[in-house]
Structure 1
Amino acid sequence: MAAGAMFFIVGLCFASWASRIATIQQTLGLSEAALGGVLFALPVGLMLSLPFAGWAVSKIGSRRLLIIAAVTYGIALVGLGSVTSIFGLIVCLICFGFASNTANISVNTQAVAAEQLYERPILASFHGLWSLAGFVGAGIGTFMIDKQIAPQQHFIIILGLMILIVVICSRYLNNDRSISDEPIFVMPDSSLIKLGIIAFCSLMCEGAMFDWSVIYFKKVVSVDGAQMAAGYTGFMLTMASGRFVADKLVHKFGIKRILQISGLLSAIGLMIAVIFPTFYTAIIGFLLVGFGVSSVVPLVYSEAGKSKTMRPSVALAAVSTIGFIGFLIGPPVIGFIAGITGSLRYSFTLIAAMGMSVAILSTKAKLS
């Protein structure tokens, strides 16, 4: 329960940022290309966090690291809502990416420990809580936009909620302080690299949807006000729903079949939104993308946890880090392509290709 609550607040923090990107873009007067360049600060923060996160988990345990990372994540979020310059935004995004990946590694390590206690697959449900938080965050963001509440005030409220949940849950997290000195991130073997690439492609789609869906509805679908977040909200709704049923579907159809279908749904949904950029057809497309990406990451993480060459937590951290790079570089790539071509529709076509790659790679991968 405590680990699930931490998944929720980590998801809420990122969703809060994603829901206000268009507002911050407008406030700073950034073009799509400029925003894409600025968003590269997120993966920079991620890369900087890798040696630190590995060292910290092995030295102080995932429980302590998660507590520190979650609070830092919220503080960085408030920083993003307070910036008044491009330089300030870049600095805050680096800090945000650093805290984001540190929280991601530590909370997934907690989830692995919880799954071992339950002795059955539950990682998808944990990620479902992360997605549910994204849906809640999108709803809160829509409300804040509609009421014209500044991002800074919005994000301060989210930080307060995060601190409250951390205080309540901290005593119930798995206390893994006395663990091996083995680093949490090591070079994975070939089978884990393949799983990481599948996660990379899916998370590239997911990251693009988080950061650009509101802007896509504003610039391409041509809607204003609260309707700008409609596609994002629909995407988060189906992604959360899909993760809560993923374990049952895998038991019935097998992991390979579910991953293949997931990749196809992502590709088809994105192409619908590209070819038919009207309000209702775009929503339908985004709903399909939500279902498409919902199962991929938790299933890949669960498969990584079964590694016979590494400890589950080490394998999971390695695969999640490869995948999370896709999550963070997808948005800036979208911005650069949009700047070169003059349209977000071309960028979303590339992301559709990433969805198709999930289906193809899943067909060739050896899965249990």
Structure 2
Amino acid sequence: MLSVTIDQKRSYRIATSIFFFIAGLTYSSWACRIHDIKSQFGLGNAGLGSVLFALPIGLMVSLPVSGWLVTKTGSRKVLIAAGLLFPVMLTFIGFTTHIWQLVIVLFCFGFMNNLFEISMNTQAVGIENLYGRSIMASFHGLWSLAGFTGVGIGTLAVNLNWPIWQHFLLVALLCWVLVFSARSYLLPADAPTDDGPLFAMPDRKIMQLGLIAFASLVTEGTMLDWSGVYFQKVVQVPEALTTVGYIAFMSTMAGGRFVADKVVTRLGVKHVLTYAGMISSTGLLIAIFFPHIMTATLGFLLVGIGVSSIVPLVLALAGKSDTLPPGMAIAAVSTVGFLGFLIGPPMIGFIAEALDLRWSFGLIALFASCTIWLTHGIDTKQ
């Protein structure tokens, strides 16, 4: 890696942080208007689920293409293009008038989302290498902070009765301004390689990192989708308090990402991943065995702390692989990990239907504890 000044490193870090903020703002803006889009198209729960499935399909289709493209051309060019096109897809969602249009746009939205994620994480790995210490989690903290910002803007838009297209266009314009302000300060090169295969078989180390991401994202996806239901059905809080668990989880997940890098510097990656698995599984067990508002909230706070650092750290390790280029390695880990994000929430529903929601969360606690076992075999000096 080329020698750079302290000011250059700081500029690279700030610019890439801005792109993480753009990604979080764009995605959260879409997520907070899903209910309104459901009403606009007159969709039931099953119909909405079918339409929304277009998004993960687009994401999964893009995974091998994204890794290959980032490896071939470098993350900077791909990130700038994705930073412009991802908000474009957001605006297109607001202008759709037929369900088939919505399905196509959501497919493209998922595709561009993943292109954005892989290219910006590749940039982040390159910058972390320049710093010579862990900084990856702080980038993801900006994504989480942007999520709160997006929900805030969305709430304001709903209260002002803005149509969806107007809300999304405003967000897109803001994102484009940020892209053009930061693009010149991105890391100029991350050693793009010659033409390579579109698909590359990941080695055992990469697959192990993918399994850690899988276990963590099963937990994260479940908490995002089912925390409100858990507080309603199991904790049995009043309707006004059903979001307490969700807010508790999101708050500590965001906050944990801003302090995780300092903890990694002090304790090391392997110890942090091990403790993260312990904390998240303990939090789930507290919420399962003591389903009262105070104890369940404490449990969800712990789960947020636990999962906050896992995915950023395994992506950073993947980017340091000695067998695959960073883009390919990050794409491989993302592929396996995101399957957990997709599988977790529906699996919870099936088990809850057959047994009980607490049994479902017990299985998630088992997944969270798997991180402890999987971490023992990883090489953190890749």
TM over 0.5: yes
Q: What residue in structure 2 maps to residue 74 of structure 1?
A: 87
Q: What residue in structure 1 maps to residue 205 of structure 2?
A: 191
Q: Deviations over 1:30-68 (max 9, x none)?
A: 33x555554433321122112432343244332221122
Tell me the C-alpha RMSD between the 2 structures. Answer: 3.3
1:298 to 299, 312, 318: 312
Q: Does 1:65 align with 2:78?
A: yes
Deviation at 1:9, TM superposition (A): 1.0
Matches within 5 A, 1:143-222: 143-144=156-157, 151-176=164-189, 179-183=192-196, 186-213=200-227
**Compared CA separation, residues 73 and 334, structure 1 to 2 (3 A):** farther
Q: Can you give the 5+ residue segments of structure 1 that lack an aligned partner in the other structure?
A: none
Question: Which range moves more in the overlay, 33-42 or 8-17?
Answer: 33-42
Whole-angstrom CA distance in 2 between matches of 1:336 and 1:250: 37
2:30 to 17, 23, 26: 17
Q: What residue in structure 2 maps to residue 111 of structure 1?
A: 124
Q: Does 1:261 align with 2:275?
A: yes
Q: What residue in structure 2 maps to residue 96 of structure 1?
A: 109
Q: Does 1:41 align with 2:61?
A: no
**Compared CA separation, residues 175 and 365, structure 1 to 2 (3 A):** closer
Deviation at 1:295, TM superposition (A): 0.8
1:315 to 329, 337, 350: 329
Asked if 2 retains the 8 angstrom alpha-carbon contact of 1:18 and 1:211, the reply is no
Q: Deviations over 1:201-231 (max 9, x none)?
A: 1122223334454566677766657x66544
**Compared CA separation, residues 62 and 3, structure 1 to 2 (3 A):** same
SS at match of 1:209: helix
Asked if 2 retains the 8 angstrom alpha-carbon contact of 1:21 and 1:211, the reply is no
Whole-angstrom CA distance in 2 between matches of 1:341 and 1:22: 27
Q: Deviations over 1:269-306 (max 9, x none)?
A: 34555566665555433322211111101221222233
**Compared CA separation, residues 283 and 135, structure 1 to 2 (3 A):** farther
Q: Which amino acid aligns with 2:216?
A: S
Asked if 1 retains the 8 angstrom alpha-carbon contact of 2:138 and 2:257, the reply is yes
Asked if 2 retains the 8 angstrom alpha-carbon contact of 1:216 and 1:344, the reply is yes
Q: Which amino acid aligns with 1:269?
A: G
Q: Given the two structures, how large is their TM-score scaled by the length of structure 2?
A: 0.80
Deviation at 1:100, TM superposition (A): 1.2
Whole-angstrom CA distance in 2 between matches of 1:72 and 1:216: 37
Q: Does 1:122 align with 2:135?
A: yes
Whole-angstrom CA distance in 2 between matches of 1:343 and 1:16: 33
Whole-angstrom CA distance in 2 between matches of 1:102 and 1:30: 30
Q: Which amino acid aligns with 2:337?
A: G
Aligned length: 365
Asked if 1 retains the 8 angstrom alpha-carbon contact of 2:230 and 2:357, the reply is yes
The structure that has the greater radius of gyration is 2
SS at match of 1:179: coil
Q: Does 1:251 align with 2:265?
A: yes
Asked if 2 retains the 8 angstrom alpha-carbon contact of 1:76 and 1:96, the reply is yes
Matches within 5 A, 1:265-284: 265-273=279-287, 281-284=295-298
Whole-angstrom CA distance in 2 between matches of 1:90 and 1:335: 24
Q: What residue in structure 2 maps to residue 135 of structure 1?
A: 148
Q: Can you give the 5+ residue segments of structure 2 that lack an aligned partner in the other structure?
A: 1-13
2:338 to 321, 324, 338: 324
Whole-angstrom CA distance in 1 between matches of 2:84 and 2:181: 13
Whole-angstrom CA distance in 1 between matches of 2:156 and 2:108: 26
Q: Does 1:286 align with 2:292?
A: no
